[in-house]
Structure 1
């Protein structure tokens, strides 16, 4: 594991020391659980994290870290290390479709198309305008140990492995988690004021009686962590490829992802291979079956070195918990929502759960906010999780049209589909028409790989905010078109301030990690500072006065020169007033009080439209599986 030099935040706990009670116990030692613990520790909240596994991270899993996630990691002091451990170039921002890897025959190693991805190519400027942080790529097999190293340095002795949660009870004063030590069979009852379950739902869903909306067990997938030499691949840059081949007859076959650790292109030393269930021919308990399926996907002969490190069988799910809070227990990450990896929103959504929850839980624990503030966690995150789940399922349906555009289907023979490939690479009007159809099908995946508005434009319709009933920005329903706005419930717009690039600072980095930040213009600063002095708030109120000469901010702020924006520690605009109200202190007091009690409950469930989209998209995937 990496060695991290960072300040210690909490007192050390000896390995055999179990405090009588802690403010928060975190169940689950994946990236979401560890992020929850570290974000709470940064706010001075004593935590204890338990996991039934050890902290040897063996599976690559997720790898994409979008700009909103990297903002949270930056606040945790982890972002710089993530960037340093990931690709050392920007050419990896591409996804490609091929027939296979090894171009040994006419129909193998043939490129079908590609799209820019994750802020690359023509998207680079759009992504840079959305955040001061860049997109990152780091497989969990390296990300998780890094977060663990940071958390261990910040709170020594507070991450406990081989601890299995067996029972959970709670009352009005706190919770009791029954934990079995798998090393020595000791069973203990750990008290805490609150529990965060980030265990993927393995234990928490049954213990808490969690019901889900959506569809489970949609599709079977097998993924492999392998070492092999794929330098014969003709693709120079892309780290991710999807495969479409005549032998598949239009069926989904699999994917290949470069996972470094040194190179993130065709020279990658290690790879994550994903296979559709039908690709396995033979006994799934026989390692040779998996070896042959991988070779078939990539077109590798028997003599080509291939070392399989791990095999992971799993299923696509499209589900969202009906409750993210059960009394003093709160769900985060996969414990609350699970969906396909298309779009890369699972890990990112979980880290964003942590960023939303940590400041609220800390404010409740230190007495600066009412416990009802925790209700806003579900009101805010559940609709976003449902949206992410629906969008991920819809993304999974965007790949079959590429095979169809090539003329592949289960009604045609391999010879017929090879002749379709001949047309695809040929000359003349027919070939031009096929290539245009294929290009359109490939480009439609921009909804997956150029989804800036999904990643950066999500907003909260209800929760710990004061809505102003202003209209949503133009194009808000587009996955691609991102329009930064200061509307309450939205992320604060990112603007670089000052004309000197060496001295510039982003508005995002001016938000204080504790309390609220009030953005005002320099000309109105005295009036608003006086108002802040008259406001009774247990949470600190920080005033940021921005020069009236900052023209880019004048355009982005969405308020007049005498107005104000109240921003939460997670960069969400909680309240705004366009112009100076008759009594600034009274208006600000009402806003702070509303936010700290969690806002007003929504009249209708904002998640419901996305739950319906989940059902429709899942039916589309199941229908494709049945037909194929």
Structure 2
């Protein structure tokens, strides 16, 4: 083999100080740039657009003031910071994995052959070398299986109404995702059916519309939602989800929704067009119409 040219690649990590200045908004690589480890770059950019699109539509359509767009930076920049840092950490850990078999560039060239031979040595000592390396390989799940980094992020402030609950604890390696309906987090996925058609709870929200999801006893919330949506000129669908025989429009076919909804049969969850929870009530409300009116006024800044 003849090497004709060698080039260097330098790991870069950048995060913009601002995501908005006046009428200029940035997203994707313009807002955050990171090494390709974990594959968070493109995912984070798509999430930026998903977050911003419905807010622009609401403002341009007259449904919300310009201040709603300010929540874009408030929500997305902390996620950008976390994802950039995670990708840099994962990229650095790649070297640890390579070193485990003796091929790392930090290992003197004269010793690499010896280290590789030790790794493939069929002796009992070779078994030990491979066992040590295997434990290091398992730590790489933080770079290749970090599902909680991809869908477990949540917004602590912005176009949402917090309910006072603490953010759920996260697995340090981020390879386990625990769904939650806490405001600011992505609506948990669960399979539901209606008239024999199976769909995801995530299918209930539209590209610009909101969804109010309740338990089988959530009719008061649904009736109030129709009135409030008309008052605020906001597209909104309602969906009561429950076990078969409860009278709900959507059936919780395998109990998956009940396991992640974190509300009672009389509770309600308001979901934004980007699938993030804007507000929730774990149980029935004394005045659902007044409560929902205050909720929409709060996170739409109306």
TM more than 0.5: yes
RMSD of aligned residue pairs (Cα, Å): 2.3
More helix by share: 2
Q: Which residue of the other structure, out of 266, 273, 284, is the alignment partner of 1:562?
A: 266
Q: Which residue of the other structure, out of 145, 153, 166, is the alignment partner of 1:450?
A: 145
Distance of 1:402 and 1:532 partners within structure 2: 53
How far off its partner does 1:514 sit? 2.2
Corresponding residue for residue 335 of structure 1: 30
Larger Rg belongs to: 1
Distance of 2:261 and 2:99 partners within structure 1: 46
Distance of 2:109 and 2:269 partners within structure 1: 63
Corresponding residue for residue 107 of structure 1: none
How far off its partner does 1:410 sit? 4.6
Distance of 2:141 and 2:178 partners within structure 1: 17
Corresponding residue for residue 586 of structure 1: 290
Q: Which runs of 5+ in 2 are unaligned?
A: 245-251
Corresponding residue for residue 119 of structure 2: 424
Distance of 1:540 and 1:412 partners within structure 2: 64
How far off its partner does 1:594 sit? 1.2
Q: Which residue of the other structure, out of 201, 224, 229, is the alignment partner of 1:531?
A: 224
The question of 1:572 aligning with 2:266 is answered no
Corresponding residue for residue 136 of structure 2: 441
How far off its partner does 1:486 sit? 0.3
Corresponding residue for residue 483 of structure 1: 178
| CA offset digits 1:54-108 (Å, max 9, x no partner) | xxxxxxxxxxxxxxxxxxxxxxxxxxxxxxxxxxxxxxxxxxxxxxxx9xxxxxx
| CA offset digits 1:34-68 (Å, max 9, x no partner) | xxxxxxxxxxxxxxxxxxxxxxxxxxxxxxxxxxx
Quickly say closer, same or farther: Cα 1:319–1:412, change in 2 above 3 A: closer
Corresponding residue for residue 299 of structure 2: 595
| CA offset digits 1:431-478 (Å, max 9, x no partner) | 011111221222211101000000010111111011112122243554
The normalised TM-score by structure 1 is 0.44
Distance of 1:407 and 1:348 partners within structure 2: 33
Corresponding residue for residue 385 of structure 1: 80
More strand by share: 1
Conserved? CA contact 1:423–1:431, under 8 Å = yes
The aligned runs of 1:284-299 (5 Å cut-off) are 288-289=4-5
Q: Which residue of the other structure, out of 206, 213, 218, is the alignment partner of 1:519?
A: 213
3-state secondary structure, aligned to 1:473: coil
3-state secondary structure, aligned to 1:505: strand
Corresponding residue for residue 60 of structure 2: 365
How far off its partner does 1:347 sit? 1.2
How far off its partner does 1:552 sit? 2.2
Q: Which runs of 5+ in 1 are unaligned?
A: 1-101, 103-280, 282-287, 294-312, 599-628
The normalised TM-score by structure 2 is 0.89
How far off its partner does 1:383 sit? 0.5
Conserved? CA contact 2:226–2:236, under 8 Å = no
Number of residue pairs matched?
290
